[in-house]
Amino acid sequence: AQSVTQLGSHVSVSEGALVLLRCNYSSSVPPYLFWYVQYPNQGLQLLLKYTTGATLVKGINGFEAEFKKSETSFHLTKPSAHMSDAAEYFCAVSSPIKAAGNKLTFGGGTRVLVKP
């Protein structure tokens, strides 16, 4: 079974400061990894994903994440926070095994507050 842990349910950052959201996973096989963002009363939007290849992944809106297999982590960063980054962020995993289909297992989410 897969699981995802996001450290910190709430994070507060100042505008212009580094955003760091932590994600650790547990999986019997190297999973596919995703970060999604959710704005109030909206669905989820994909920020970035890791399947294979380069472990540093760049996504939309200036976000990037690094897959570290030895640490079973996939932390999300953005060098300079913008007010529009205030939202909830979800880390998710899926299995590369065919039988698992497209099932996503999500972490609990981290709500980001950006202070002016």
Partner 1 sequence: KAGVTQTPRYLIKTRGQQVTLSCSPISGHRSVSWYQQTPGQGLQFLFEYFSETQRNKGNFPGRFSGRQFSNSRSEMNVSTLELGDSALYLCASSFDRNTEAFFGQGTRLTVV
Among 8, 16, 18, 46, binds partner 1 (CB under 8 A): 46
Output the smallest distance, CB 100 to partner 1, in A: 7
Residue 63 near partner 1 by CB under 8 A: no
C-alpha span between 103 and 64 (Å, rounded):
23
What DSSP character marks residue 41?
A: T
Which is closer to partner 1, CB of 45 or CB of 80? 45
| 85, 61 Cβ separation under 8 angstroms | yes
Q: Which tokens hold the place of 63?
A: 């976000």
Residues in the chain: 116
Residue 32 near partner 1 by CB under 8 A: yes
Residue 74 near partner 1 by CB under 8 A: no
Q: First-to-last CA distance in the chain?
A: 41
Output the smallest distance, CB 101 to partner 1, in A: 4
Beta-carbon-side half-sphere exposure of residue 85 (alpha carbons within 13 Å): 29
Which is closer to partner 1, CB of 70 or CB of 102? 102
Contact positions toward partner 1, by CB under 8 A? Answer: 32, 36, 41-46, 49, 51, 90, 92, 94, 96, 98, 100-109
